[in-house]
Structure 1
């Protein structure tokens, strides 16, 4: 790991000003569960690390507002997962956080940092001996013809097939959550659905945020759709593993028919993936297992599997189908 300067501001405005003063080469640091790993691997080598863990007012969870739940960007994952309002009104979000990592990591990692975690693609993290357009733009993508069992079947490009590794962002995308950011240009709101970029020809640009933007909070709209929800995650082992396929699903029933449905996919795409057409196929109809499977098949209609990950399509279809049935039971 290379030497770096370490700064510890107390207010968000001060942190943003310090970033502007020390850019390029400055990085925000919160829980450190991603950044420090990448620094050890040589993927990241910031000249200045700005520790935002002590910023005032960004670690709380505000459930006092009728229209939305507000989560400070510095709230630990474990605090959000255990919060009574999250468990009651957004069980898919609580489950996504519980299933994301070990208890030790959940206690350290912040929700703002979790949104911005980078891929676990072995070629990206492989000490620079493999071609990776995320790590060195224009160098190629070794995963295209390499070991790609864990890679994306949705949203990939000729430049990158790395899967987005997170769980929480998938649930937040299903609930139409928004992140608020702060930069020298002021505050702005970014829907979680628009936060992560498709790789296209520039996979090194992973989000729509500028380097100097700091996530300060997450806002989740409150309503009946969140209560009958689940985060269903399939992985190689039961805990401490990234998803091979996952689904954040929510349904709202009127009588025996679907009034609203949300389906977001994880583990199979280059970014958190909302399955809009699959959602529309359910509205106005009874939620039978056959209807759930039809929606799941629509969710994967545009899948483009690689040599070693074709199983993800069938697995993903079963994952979404099962998740819809769990959500129905909770309704």
Structure 2
């Protein structure tokens, strides 16, 4: 409440410090506030501010920051002569991806300092140490990996589709899994710690599948005798936002038709009830996460093409982008004619 009052120029031109009994003129004061996540800031407070969105560093940028600034600084801080110890680029990438999870480089700097302390101790004790730190040395110097990166899991199962997500610490790939169980039908179960917006995306996807069942060659009787379950793994992590819309609709379409999803494909985009695909944010972080996971093709809304044009070409090298306006285009690109191995046989009796 104090910030709400102070940041409202129509009401507060001065601040009186009761302890010092001094008045402070606020009419010419520029307040600068920073935050890692806007979700925890009250909406009225955000409305009083001019938002400047500064994206976090991507892995490639963190590597360069470490090589140019962090490593030379830590070498000097620990009294290690320049040229007597270095860290290979693949090792730095491994440290960033499996030993830190952040949008900046603060934790990375701590890990580098930990490595330098161990090296400095070995030098002081005249013990052998690696002149170039390699990936195989990380377990000795930093312990076991703290985080694991998701990778593409193939297209063997119906209803499993790879999506892309933005988080406070960068881009991630996520999987949407759908399954069917016999029952009274018309029941949709959603799990995975999903927020309200993500739940609405699932309901929109389900409604679209129902209304376009004939086009997709789905027997409408299935909806009356089979219950649907949609799950997004890593249930301990809260998830929300509309960007998984096309992923969910592709998952359900694959499930009901038992058709395979195109291999090495990921997607992100919001959907409307009539099947329109809308643009989403965090594209740069998402596509880099896809590339790290081994994805080769990405489906995006046409309006997101402008985001790709702003990304450094070397970061998108080897990726193929498909730009769409409508869910029909998404399904035409994503679903193969081939059925999955051992497809489910639907009995409506």
TM-score tier after normalising by the smaller chain length: under 0.3
Structure ranking higher on relative contact order (CA contacts 8 Å, 6+ apart): 1
The TM-score, its normalising length taken from structure 2, stands at 0.23
Structure that is richer in helix per residue: 2
Asked which structure has the greater CA Rg, the reply is 2
The TM-score, its normalising length taken from structure 1, stands at 0.24
